[in-house]
Amino acid sequence: MKNIVAIYPGSFDPVTNGHLDLIHRGSKLFDKLIVAIAVNLDKGETLFTMKERKEMLVAMTEELDNVSIDTFEGLLVSYCIRQGANAVLRGIRAISDYEFELQMALMNRKMEPRVETVFMMPAEQYSYLSSRIVREIAKLGGPLTGLVPKMVEDRVRERIARRHISATGKHLL
Ligand code: PNS
């Protein structure tokens, strides 16, 4: 029997129900799944710190015995080798994701042929969901129900309200 250790990398700023759907699917397929939060210097300022993103992921996955949460810096494939992982899990929502994901998967394979990328589709209701859209809706005061868990929604709203106060001196309604 093969022991498949998979890494599910991402920014998770914040974790969404789409991410959690994929984590549940991955935990059924792989022997071990490590959700790895990337230090992504290209993305600029994040809504949550690494520590906060990790806390939310830990809380949302505590019932899954074969899932752990970690952070990494540098090349994903180097991190995979350090962890003894043989697979990378990525979610594909729509065709628009495919081009970037294909480029990343092929480049990762070129750098490290021992690591295979596995794509999974989240449930249809999450096919238009992303952390970026969650942040944007929250900033504009829209509803987040069904997009992120309640604990994450509360933390997103609290963070955005706090940023608004420090930027304007005014409370959001
Ligand atoms: O949630 P995201 O932002 O889509 O995740 C992108 C992520 C973190 C998976 C990607 O940027 C990544 O793997 N970064 C690590 C650096 C790396 O290995 N870059 C080369 C990719 S070919």
Report the C-alpha gap between 20 and 120 in whole angstroms.
12
| pLDDT (tens digit per residue) in 112-122 | 999 999 999 99
Report the C-alpha gap between 109 and 101 in whole angstroms.
12
pLDDT attached to residue 1: 64
Count of the separate structural domains present in the chain: 1
Length of the chain: 173
Report the C-alpha gap between 43 and 60 in whole angstroms.
24
Q: Evaluate whether residue 45 is within a structural domain.
A: yes
Q: Are 129 and 18 in contact (CB under 8 A)?
A: yes
Closest Cα partner for 16 from 35, 31, 32? 35
Is the alpha carbon torsion for 116, 124, 141, 58 positive or negative? negative
pLDDT attached to residue 19: 98
Report the C-alpha gap between 114 and 19 in whole angstroms.
25
Pocket test for ligand 1, best of 34, 102, 104 (most atoms within 8 A of CB): 104
Report the C-alpha gap between 117 and 106 in whole angstroms.
9
Q: Evaluate whether residue 77 is within a structural domain.
A: yes
**Which residues are annotated as catalytic?**
19, 43, 93, 131
Q: Evaluate whether residue 10 is within a structural domain.
A: yes
Q: Evaluate whether residue 88 is within a structural domain.
A: yes
Q: Evaluate whether residue 144 is within a structural domain.
A: no
pLDDT profile of the chain (173 residues), mean per 10: 92 98 98 95 86 98 98 97 98 93 98 98 96 96 96 96 78 58
Tell me how far the alpha carbon of residue 147 lies from the centroid of ligand 1, in angstroms. Answer: 23
In short, whether 18's Cβ falls inside 6 Å of ligand 1 is: no
Report the C-alpha gap between 30 and 2 in whole angstroms.
10
pLDDT attached to residue 171: 65
pLDDT attached to residue 163: 83
Which domain range does residue 13 map to? 5-127
Report the C-alpha gap between 125 and 128 in whole angstroms.
7
Q: Evaluate whether residue 146 is within a structural domain.
A: no
CB burial of residue 103 (10 Å; 0-12, 13-18, 19+):
exposed
| Residue 114 belongs to domain with CATH number | 3.40.50.620
Q: Evaluate whether residue 112 is within a structural domain.
A: yes
Report the C-alpha gap between 155 and 61 in whole angstroms.
17
pLDDT attached to residue 2: 84
Q: What's the token pair of residue 119?
A: 């794509």
pLDDT attached to residue 162: 87
**Given the DSSP bridges, would you call strands 87-91 and 5-10 parallel, antiparallel or unpaired?**
parallel
Q: Evaluate whether residue 165 is within a structural domain.
A: no
At 94 the three-state DSSP class reads: coil
Tell me how far the alpha carbon of residue 124 lies from the centroid of ligand 1, in angstroms. Answer: 24
